[in-house]
């Protein structure tokens, strides 16, 4: 195992990784920006290095400053968390060139999966069903319209350079496609430095289900079951759970087998997630692969009893997978709610400010991953995720009851939060029955 690991992130995920380091007897190094002095992730670490001013570009996204901090503290490995540099293959390669282990997949795999249209092709070749659509970027609007006509409307226009919904647009007809195309191109170029767009058939009222995967350097790949993530706003997940309610066992078996086959085909190493859409008929379609630890990994930890971050560290240190597939059981149910500093009444606009009150819930089956503390200012510079609340139970009903109780106890003052919206979700009949799909939030199903 490594003696020293640097955590190139902030907030709750940095604290989560620091905790795994502590559990493994690894010395930990935090990095922080000028805006984050005194934040919990800084004080949690054995050592901390100031890497730059508040803007992420000059701190948490500054590859040179982070590598310098790693060298100065003799860190042998870097955990990137999620967001920031976690899926940046140039960063992963720069780590390798500096003789520092990147805690994630090989840089070439990150690059392959980062180009979404090429990833679709790769997965199709590996026998994974993909959403019907283009197998190469569409050159221009003309090509987009002829592809869409052949495929049938509605279609989804997506950016090849990166996933997660940025530059994504739905078009119901040729006119809407003409309208959306230049905007999507501009957004893709701005966000990813690549204007390439591709098309998919728009799958209506499907469910967003993802499979947690782990691979090692011997080529072994296992899955840690699935998560249901259909409750999103502006393509950010708000509620996730495992198991996916109502997913037929036969479909689940085929879905996880396809995910393992796909990951094996690309030589996947460390933690990764394959995202799918599942339609009402039980058909499932590959969307994209995320080559990082995900925000929602705790729900998988709660139902499997496994520590995903410790496993990431072990695999990066050269160990084989710590589990055989047969030992990875999905027991009970777990639900996660994300508490963001956003105003649900104003279309989830960020709500920066200073935290004046923070009351965290507790009790049997309740877990809180919190990155903030009273007196700290939530700035506009970073993702406004304050905390994650995870409830576990022997079954979904028990997990849900605990979640309702915990959300009632949870209190944050000083900023607006997603708490009222989350309370409405878990109180709704739709969610209680487990009948969720990707369009519920936009349809206003939880607006009380």
Residues forming the active site:
292
Order of strands, edge to edge, in the sheet holding 169-171? 169-171, 155-159, 197-201
- At closest approach, how far in Å is the CB of 390 from ligand MV4? 20
DSSP secondary structure code for residue 37 in this structure:
T
Q: Which is nearer to ligand MV4, 129 or 165 (CB)?
A: 165
62 binds ligand MV4 (CB under 6 A): no
The window from 103-111, 194-202, 404-412, 413-421 that contacts ligand MV4 (CB under 6 A) reads: 194-202
Q: Give me the count of residues in the chain.
A: 448
Question: Residue 349 and residue 326: Cα distance in Å, rounded?
Answer: 44
Backbone angles phi and psi of 307, in degrees to 5: -100, 105
User: Which CB atom, from 164 or from 283, has the smaller least distance to ligand MV4?
Assistant: 164
Could you tell me the smallest distance in angstroms from the CB atom of residue 232 to ligand MV4? 4
Q: Does 196 bind ligand MV4 (CB under 6 A)?
A: no
DSSP-assigned letter for residue 34: G
Q: Helices marked H in 153-296 — which ranges?
A: 174-192, 249-265
Q: Using the minimum distance from each CB to ligand MV4, give the nearer residue, 275 or 296.
A: 275
Residue 156 found at the interface with ligand MV4 (CB under 6 A): yes
Buried b / exposed e along 307-341 (16+ C-beta atoms within 10 A): bbbbbbbbbbbeeebeeeeeebebebbbbbbbbbb
Beta carbon of residue 168, minimum distance to ligand MV4 (angstroms, whole number): 6
What is the smallest separation between the CB atom of 328 and ligand MV4, expressed in angstroms?
25
CB of 319 to ligand MV4, least distance (A): 31
Paired tokens of 65: 């400053």
The binder of ligand MV4 chosen from 71, 235, 331, 433 (CB under 6 A): 235
**Is 210 an interacting residue with respect to ligand MV4 (CB under 6 A)?**
no
Distance CA 51, CA 85 (A): 14
* 139 vs 199: CA distance, rounded Å: 11
Residues 260, 276: contact at Cβ < 8 Å?
Answer: no
Contact between 276 and ligand MV4 by CB under 6 A: the answer reads no
Q: Phi first, then psi: what are they for 130, rounded to 5°?
A: -115, 160
Residues 316-345 that bind ligand MV4 (CB under 6 A): none
Residues making contact with ligand MV4 (CB under 6 A): 131, 156, 163-165, 200-203, 206, 208, 230, 232, 235, 275, 277, 287-288, 438-439, 442
């Amino acid at each position: 195992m490594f003696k020293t690991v640097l955590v190139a992130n902030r907030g709750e995920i940095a604290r989560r990784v620091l905790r795994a380091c502590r559990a493994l007897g690894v010395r930990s190094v935090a990095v922080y920006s000028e805006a984050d002095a005194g934040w919990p992730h800084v004080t949690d670490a054995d050592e901390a290095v100031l890497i730059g001013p508040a803007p992420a570009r000059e701190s948490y996204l500054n590859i040179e400053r982070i590598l310098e901090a790693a060298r100065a503290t003799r860190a042998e490995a870097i955990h990137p968390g999620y967001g920031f540099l976690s899926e940046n293959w140039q960063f992963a390669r720069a780590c390798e060139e500096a003789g520092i282990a990147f805690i994630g997949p090989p840089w070439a795999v990150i690059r392959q999966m980062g180009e979404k249209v090429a990833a679709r092709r790769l997965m199709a070749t590996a026998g994974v069903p993909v959403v019907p659509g283009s197998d190469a970027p569409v050159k221009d609007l003309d090509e987009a319209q002829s592809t869409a006509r052949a495929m049938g409307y509605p279609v989804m226009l997506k950016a090849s350079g990166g996933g997660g919904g940025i530059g994504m647009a739905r078009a119901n007809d040729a006119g809407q496609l003409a309208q959306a195309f230049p905007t999507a191109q501009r957004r893709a170029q701005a966000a990813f430095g690549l204007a390439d767009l591709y098309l998919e058939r728009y799958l209506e009222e499907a469910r967003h289900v993802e499979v947690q995967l782990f691979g090692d350097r011997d080529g072994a790949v296992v899955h840690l079951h699935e998560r249901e993530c259909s409750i999103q706003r502006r393509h950010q997940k708000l509620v996730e759970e495992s198991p996916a309610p109502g997913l037929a066992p036969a479909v689940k078996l085929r879905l996880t087998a396809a995910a393992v086959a796909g990951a094996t085909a690309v030589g996947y190493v460390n933690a990764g997630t394959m995202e799918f859409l599942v339609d009402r008929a039980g058909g499932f379609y590959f969307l994209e692969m995320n080559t990082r630890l995900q925000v929602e990994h705790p729900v998988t930890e709660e139902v499997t009893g496994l520590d995903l971050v410790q496993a990431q560290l072990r695999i990066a240190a050269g160990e084989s997978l710590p589990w055989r597939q047969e030992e990875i059981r999905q027991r009970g149910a777990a639900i996660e709610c994300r508490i963001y500093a956003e105003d649900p009444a104003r279309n989830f606009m960020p709500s920066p400010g200073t935290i004046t009150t923070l009351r965290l819930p507790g009790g049997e089956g309740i877990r809180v991953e919190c990155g903030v503390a009273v007196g700290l200012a939530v700035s506009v510079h970073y993702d406004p995720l304050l905390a994650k609340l995870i409830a576990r139970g022997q079954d979904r009903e028990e997990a849900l009851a605990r979640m309702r109780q915990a959300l009632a106890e949870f209190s944050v003052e000083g900023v607006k939060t997603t708490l009222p919206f989350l309370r409405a979700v878990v109180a709704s009949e739709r969610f209680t029955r487990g009948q969720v799909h990707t369009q519920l939030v936009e349809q206003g199903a939880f607006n009380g």
